Structure 1
């Protein structure tokens, strides 16, 4: 192919025809859509490295991106940009000859010698089936020819010395939509995206994983199906998307052929693990893969990591690191198209049901372990782990619903996840799972599930359902002699009584729950019973009892390094300080509670913190701030489907002080502030509440004013300035290391800092850093 194919043969502004650039890049037959960021990054990488390999799953657009990079880089290579197409080449012994042919060199020319003094770009396209030969050739040419650079495309890295890789991602959503719209308009005359089909077009883009080839095949199908009909049939995507360009290689003409090719490049062990991994929904970690997918034959447990690495190298899987410190984990993910293919293969082997059973057992065990570790310093890590595994938890619960005889196991799992449903703001979903499983579970296995279902109904302010569930749970627990469920029922009935204003009954039930949980030795339930007793005392105006119960709860939590129940105890203490007229102390306590709940991910706790800070603002002549905080809290109550999270009597404070703020501002100004608050993300809302969000507090410098540190936080800041680690701070203050970490994180957030060095500088400037007994000057 001559250089004219590059489209450079047009006359310039002076009427002359510019010299054609050497090379053989093909002209583009369709528009190039998106990829601006990828183009920039690959060109930068190519300027820094001499061998760059674009990797990615089949159909993701590696070739098209490589050709566009090569086209834009032509000026840097006076001896040309040259494409070597390898997709149809099966014999690695013919690789060098294919390169000579592409470069229009004589058959006997020695590549290294011929290219020694040239400055050119060699594009080796579709190298995956010739990996070793391509690596050897690239290394040999690059060592001998300093002016040559190689841009390769492959489903996995070549493994050559000096190779840099760039994983080509699926198209971003806007680019997906633009590509599908453009190809649909080309395939179907008169087609256009409009309000009637826009949602279905977006669904196509999302469910086809942003793979350009899949989107182009879908566009062709729009000749015979509407976007909605196409979406409805995507579960059978391999049968549906079977008509591509007849000019393409057979393996690039249909979606199935494309993935078949990738599957065929895998070893038997890799193929086995690919099919088994399809049982996971969303992501999974190494522990899950080993427990669910390993066997004694095809993929032994000790070989799982190596086979996973091979599938990552071949772009079947992607890997991301989530979390930090001891809680950091590698997470593996398949594109939905790749996963569907694996599911078809797994179904054909007849082993899908057994594998789904192993999947259910693993995630049921994970839920049980989370309960055992909940009241500990690793509480936040477990909540985050469950949040990451949410799609797999759903898949396991669905299997229990559908498989006869598994409802009891599923019900125990859904009940074990009760605290997760509350903390993650998915109370409505938790109730749905419990209701479905309760309808199928045997009578003798229902008590625990009914108790948790009643609790979640209280949170959602559904007293009728709560009363019925808790009454039945109590009856069954008494018949079975189940002390744990009886203790839970007492606690949850106390919540129900408080939500309707019966403070006497509520206090009696909380005292019963506290006694039962103490006898059972359940520290988390003891802490929650203490918090509830503090709350009912506060509501009844018994400040002394409220503070005493809260302090007892806080001490118990600190002894175990627990943060969540402690945050709720801090909240009650904040309410008491506010009622006692100490707005500054109340704000500090509310801020600590808010930060802890935000870091854990408890949206209900965050909403409570925002509510309290709104009341404080309203009584402190800050009605505009109060309006925004009320709006931010309202957005979270709505998002979680939990009106004041079962704290029914708090509605009185809400109504009183929101009305006061509205009266002070005027209805129009109040509504404007309220709506501004509802528009904030949870992160922005927390930042605004603590005055650490630059956008919410324009012009504020880090560390300047804003929420003040508590006495303990000031003490910790001084220790940070002296160079103490969190472990050393914990030992010095006789607190859990997790509590010390929480203090440091609170300081960072309150001061708007991002590092311990900033804390140290801040503390030193304020002469806080002297060790005890030393002069501060």
Structure 2
């Protein structure tokens, strides 16, 4: 820290800050970051949505740094100030400048602070941003040792200003519903709820009975401290379950806060009303319209859906920037580009305004139309280059796609559009863990009986595929038969080709290999005739697997290699990955274990990159079989544990590849016999306990050798701090949590992790975790 932050003057340190009457929860990283910034910058602004805790954070920082400011830390509360002309006078009064009669307030203020070493906290500047900017800049220019810490919903925009966005409190991980009550209570949002609940219900705690309800409450409230505190107060009269049930109308429930705070902080609605009032008319209109989006949006979507009727398309970008600056929208970086997210509380507020305007149905239809077109384009480009980007885009837009489907099925006469949308999203359902959801949407549309026959026929074979992947062959058979009848009636070769393909999959699952081969060959011929490369590739992959299962090695390899050639000619990735998987099975059966591992690993790497859990599951299965054949039984058992977790997430074991279960069972029996029951179960358990990324890194042998094994000598190349941080990475801590644990800035933690990755030749945190776990134990990939 600089001298200003380490001053040890003997003069009395003045601290004109209110005492903390309730505990301060979380924010360790934010406090450390702001303290560090104040040591190098003279102007720091905390920004964020109303109720996120900017004031409380500023006060905590003020208390912690008070000894560094010889002439005091002073709080200037501006929320109640409505007259901008009085700003300098209010600041002077807060700094206890007594004589303001002989000179202008700003002049008296600058003269008073000229030689003072002070921190001035300007709290709630959002309604006086321009005036606060002028005042702060004047003070900093004339008072060389003064510093300003401001809180506002948007930055002041002055020279040298450092802006620190204050996020909501951390929420429980939604993918880890099984967290223990103790672990759940360590999260910031839950901890705040518990501590405030104990103030009205002594002894309140997170238990096995209420943990899910508490987690849902804080998630529904977006981790906003004000909303959580208001909800906890309701426990005076309600149970946690009743609080959750009544959060459907959160603005009515969350009122009656402390009477000593400003009226707009006493209820959640009043607080958001204040944010709404600070926006321009066009920004308010965009806020309302953005509320039809679910889970976020990008600029193109905002322009397409929200423009018109008072908002010019070319103005949307500036309005989006305005809402980001006012902390209504949150900017987020994604692999596909920048996206914007609105806290659910703000979204609900905007939706209420939109409903009141009478424009909700129009905007919902426009939103649904935009995503119908997006899905249609994805279906048209399902085979070929650029596939990863399209799959990723659909995954990011999953919540919006669901909202669009809801709209289609809710609007009378639009069920046909819903069926078409659900069918266009077939590869989205297949390449993720949304199998059940996709099947439900398709079946809902089919049950409605709406839409053209060609759409229904396509939906039938798409639904059959989804149903096969869930192992429900009886239902799938019915869909395929109807699809075939419609295909014949429409003389549609594409429909007939897919009906034949999925008839073959059903036959294969029932052990009728010859019939399956016949159906696959029929589908192959029809897809060659129509030029459908996706259907052609699917048929070749299935034909390769069927020939392999029947012991016809040459035919299996020929079909697999043709599938690879078809994909390679178009720069295709997903179908190619499945072709590699199919070939790996046959190559493994032939005993070429290195080649089998190479093919399965290539398939796994691609499927992992797009989040295709089914493809991941089958590829890891093959790698387990290869490991067992190499007599590396511990590795094989761990891989079986990893794939056990994958199948649990998908909801079906060996989805759509049921005939391969024979190889799975043989691998289990082989490993159990070699290791013994106890050692086998222990190894499977170790694999199952790995996180998804750790499991993938282990399967792909991404450890300290880059592609296998570990080098103990590399540990010595790390500094003591890097060694400590590597261990925290292995425990699963985020950069933010590591920084808080070691009381360092997050940027410092990130720099250490970059050095670790560079020294060890890694490219992911998962590799660090696997490598740390490998230290101190023998290479158990080999049989003793």
TM-score, scaled relative to structure 2: 0.85
Report the number of matched residues: 689
User: In structure 2, how many angstroms separate the alpha carbons of the residues matched to 1:508 and 1:698?
Assistant: 45
Please state if 1:342 is matched with 2:350. yes
Q: Does 1:203 align with 2:211?
A: no
- In the aligned structure 1, how far is the partner of 2:209 from the partner of 2:600? 47
SS, match of residue 501 in structure 1: coil
1:754 aligns with 2:763: yes
Q: Specify the alignment match of 2:53 in structure 1.
A: 61
Question: 1:103-502 residue pairs with structure 2 within 5 A?
Answer: 103-105=95-97, 106-107=99-100, 108=103, 110-173=108-171, 174-295=187-308, 297-323=309-335, 328-442=336-450, 444=453, 445-502=455-512
Q: Which runs of 5+ in 2 are unaligned?
A: 1-9, 172-186, 716-756, 765-784
Equivalent runs, 1:26-45 vs 2, <5 Å: 26-45=18-37
Give how far 1:681 is off.
Answer: 2.4
What do the CA deviations read for 1:709-736 (whole angstroms, capped 9, x no partner)? xxxxxxxxxxxxxxxxxxxxxxxxxxxx
For residues 453-507 of structure 1, the C-alpha deviation after alignment (integer angstroms, 9 at most, x for no partner) is 1111111111110101111122122223333222221111111111112122211
- Residue-by-residue CA offset, 1:143-197 (whole Å, 9 max, x unaligned): 1111000000001111112211000000113111111111111123454443332
Q: TM-score, normalised by structure 1?
A: 0.86
CA contact 1:693–1:752 (8 Å) conserved in 2: no
Which whole-Å CA distance do the structure 1 matches of 2:23 and 2:643 have between them?
47
CA–CA distance in 2 between the matches of 1:81 and 1:220? 32
Q: State which drifts further: 284-293 or 61-70.
A: 284-293
Asked whether 1:95 is paired with 2:81, we answer no
Q: Distance in 2 between matches of 1:447 and 1:571?
A: 30
- What's the CA shift string for 1:695-714, capped at 9, x where partnerless? 9977437999xxxxxxxxxx
Aligned to 2:559: 549
Residue from 702, 711, 724 that aligns with 1:700: 711
Runs of 4+ in 1 over 6 A off after TM superposition: 695-698, 701-704
Partner of 1:48: 40
1:694 shift after superposition? 5.1
Q: Verify the 8 A CA contact 1:537 1:545 in the aligned structure 2.
A: yes
Matches within 5 A, 1:568-587: 568-587=578-597
Q: Is the 8 A contact 1:281 1:392 kept in 2?
A: yes
Alpha-carbon separation, structure 2, partners of 1:49 and 1:626: 55
Tell me, what secondary structure is at the counterpart of 2:236? Answer: coil
Once the two structures are superposed, what CA deviation does each residue of 1:728-772 show, in whole Å capped at 9, x if it has no partner?
xxxxxxxxxxxxxxxxxxxx99x96439xxxxxxxxxxxxxxxxx
Task: Write the deviation string for residues 70-123 of structure 1: whole angstroms up to 9, x where unpaired.
Answer: 111111110100111100111111111111101111223522222111110010
CA distance in 1, matches of 2:203, 2:697: 49
Which residue does 1:626 correspond to in 2?
636
Query: How far is the alpha carbon of 1:19 from its aligned partner?
Result: 7.2
Q: 1:685 to 1:512 in 2, by over 3 A?
A: same
Q: Distance in 2 between matches of 1:212 and 1:594?
A: 42
SS for the counterpart of 1:645 is coil
Q: Is the Cα–Cα contact under 8 Å of residues 703 and 710 in structure 2 kept in the other structure?
A: no
How far residue 20 of structure 1 moved from its aligned partner, in angstroms, is 4.9
3-state SS of 2:333 partner: strand
CA contact (8 A) 1:684 1:693 kept: no
Indicate conservation of the 8 Å contact 2:221/2:345, yes or no: yes
- 1:194 & 1:636 partners in 2: Cα distance? 29
